[in-house]
Amino acid sequence: MRRLSKISVVAVVALIALTGCGNKTDNKNDKTGSTANADVCKTAKGNGPKVGLAYDVGGRGDQSFNDSAYAGLKKAVGDLKATCVEGEATDGEAESARESRLKDMADAGMNPIIGVGFAYSDAVNAVAPNYPDISFGVIDGFDPDQTANKNVAYLGFAENEGSYLVGVAAALKSKAGHIGFVGGVHNDLIKKFEAGYVAGAKATKPDIKVDVKYIQESDLKGFGDPAGGQEAATAEFDNGADVVYHASGASGSGVFDAAVSAGDGKWAIGVDSDQYLTASDAQKPHILTSMLKRVDVATYDMIKSVADGSPLTSYQTYDLKKDGVGYAKSGGFVDDIASKIDEAATKIKSGEIKVPDKP
C-alpha cells in the first residue's frame, strides 16, 4: 500500500513534468505552424551583414523579449539586406552550451553576433576575445570582469523611465487610489521597473497606495509561471488595487487573467512589447497600456552600426530620448490621459524629472 501511494505520487510528479513538456511542444508547434514559413532567415539572401542572433529561453515565438529582437532583425533584413542564423537557449542549460552557440555562429562567419538577454554576458566575455574581428552585442548585458572588451556592445535600457510613464497612467486611471505591481523575480533588473512605476504613480497622486509582489525570490522560473502571476495579481486586486502592472515575462498572461476575473474597471499593464496585440479577446478590454522596451530598436541599431562600418561598443543605454522605452496606446484606453503622460515623458527627456532606478 505504501509503495502504491509512493508510486502514485511519483506518477503525479512525472505527469506535472510531462505536462510542462507538452506545453512547450505546443508552443513550438504553434510557432512552426504560424511563423516558420515567415522566418526571414530562411529566405534572406542579401549581401548585407551576416547576423547571428542567439535567443534566450523561449526563443522566437515568445510574444515578448525574444520576438522583439526578431522584429529588429526582420527590419535589418529588409532595410540593410542582412542575412541571418538563429540559436536558442534551453532551460537549465550549461554555461558551456551558451558559449558553444556563440562559437558556432562565429565559426560560421557571422558578424555581428547578438545575445538576447543578460544570461549571455559571461559567455560573450569568454568568447569575444577569441574573435577580435567580430562584433558582439548583449541585450541587457554587462562586462563581468575588469578587462574591457573592444568588440562587445552592452545594450541596456532605461526601464525605470518607461515604467514611470505607465505608473503615471496607472495613477490617473485608478479610482480606488490603490494600484499594484507584480515582478517575476526579485532581482535588481526587475526592481528597476518597480522603482520607476512607484515613482511615476506617487508623483501623480502622492497619497496613492502601491502593493508590490514578486513571484520568485531568485529562481528564473518566475518569468514563466502564469499561475504564479495570476495568484499574485489576484491577491492585489482582492486587496483593493484596481490597476496592476507586471514585469514578469510569460507569467504576465496570468496577471491579465486575474484582471479579467476581477471584473469591469480592473486593469492590467503589459511589459516589453505591446501586449494588447497578442492578448486574447477576453483580456483585451483589461489591458490599459504596455511599457515598451524596444529590444528591436537596439537589435537593429547594433546591426546597422556594423553595416555602417562603425560597430557599437561598450555600454549603450536605450532611454526615452533614444526611443528605447515608451508606452503603448493600442486599445485607446489611455487616449484621454496621453497628454499628461507625454508631458511627463518630455520632463524626463529634458532632465527635469530624474527617475530612480532602485526602490
Partner 1 sequence: MNTSKILRSVVQALLAPLIAVVVSMAVTSIVVVVAGASVGDFWDVIFKVPSHRNLVNITNQSALIFLAALAAAIGFRMNLFNIGIEGQYTLAAYTAALVAGQAWFPGKVNILVALLVAMAVGAAWAGIAGVLKVTRGVSEVISTIMLNAIAGTVVGYLLSNHGQQYGQGRRTTPIPESSQLAGWTPWKESDGAIWTLVILAVLAGVTISFLINRTRFGFDLRATGTNEDAAVVSGVEVKKMVVISMLISGAIAGLIWMPALFGGADYYGPPFQRTLGFTGIAVALLGRNRPLGIFFGAVLFAWLSEQANPLALVADISPSIVQITQGVVVLAVVVAYEVVRRWTAAYEQRELKAALDREAVSA
Under the rule (CB under 8 A), what is the footprint of partner 1? 3, 5-6, 9-10, 13, 17-18, 21, 24-25, 28-29, 31-33, 36, 39, 41-42, 55, 59, 85-88, 90-97, 99-101, 103-105, 108, 118-119, 121-122, 130, 140-142, 144, 185-189, 216-220
Residue type, 74: K
Cell numbers for 215: 513571484
Alpha-carbon gap, residue 296 to 278, rounded angstroms: 17
Phi, psi (deg, nearest 5) at residue 93: -80, 160
Nearer to partner 1, 63 or 283 (CB): 63
Nearer to partner 1, 71 or 85 (CB): 85
Is the four-CA dihedral 273, 276, 280, 282 of positive or negative sign? positive
Nearer to partner 1, 88 or 231 (CB): 88
Q: How far is the CB of 242 from partner 1 (least distance, A)?
A: 30
Helices (H) and strands (E) in the chain, counts: 11, 12
DSSP labels, 325-357: EEE--TTSTTGGGHHHHHHHHHHHHHTSSPPPS
Q: Which residues of 330-341 are buried (b: 16+ CB within 10 A; e: fewer)?
A: bbebbeebeebb
Q: How far is the CB of 185 from partner 1 (least distance, A)?
A: 8
Q: How far is the CB of 29 from partner 1 (least distance, A)?
A: 6
Alpha-carbon gap, residue 316 to 305, rounded angstroms: 12
Nearer to partner 1, 261 or 317 (CB): 317
* Strands, E assignment, the chain: 50-55, 83-88, 113-115, 136-139, 152-157, 178-185, 209-216, 243-247, 267-272, 287-293, 314-318, 325-327
Alpha-carbon gap, residue 302 to 209, rounded angstroms: 40
Tell me, what DSSP letter sits at residue 1? -
Nearer to partner 1, 141 or 331 (CB): 141
CA nearest neighbour of 224 among 186, 254, 261, 180: 254
Q: How far is the CB of 268 from partner 1 (least distance, A)?
A: 24
Q: How far is the CB of 98 from partner 1 (least distance, A)?
A: 8
Q: How far is the CB of 262 from partner 1 (least distance, A)?
A: 27
Cell numbers for 59: 526563443
Nearer to partner 1, 18 or 282 (CB): 18
Nearer to partner 1, 61 or 331 (CB): 61
Q: How far is the CB of 41 from partner 1 (least distance, A)?
A: 8
Q: How far is the CB of 128 from partner 1 (least distance, A)?
A: 12
Nearer to partner 1, 154 or 333 (CB): 154
CA nearest neighbour of 184 among 141, 213, 149: 213
Nearer to partner 1, 37 or 339 (CB): 37
Cis peptide leading into residue 112 (ω within 30°): yes
Q: How far is the CB of 74 from partner 1 (least distance, A)?
A: 16
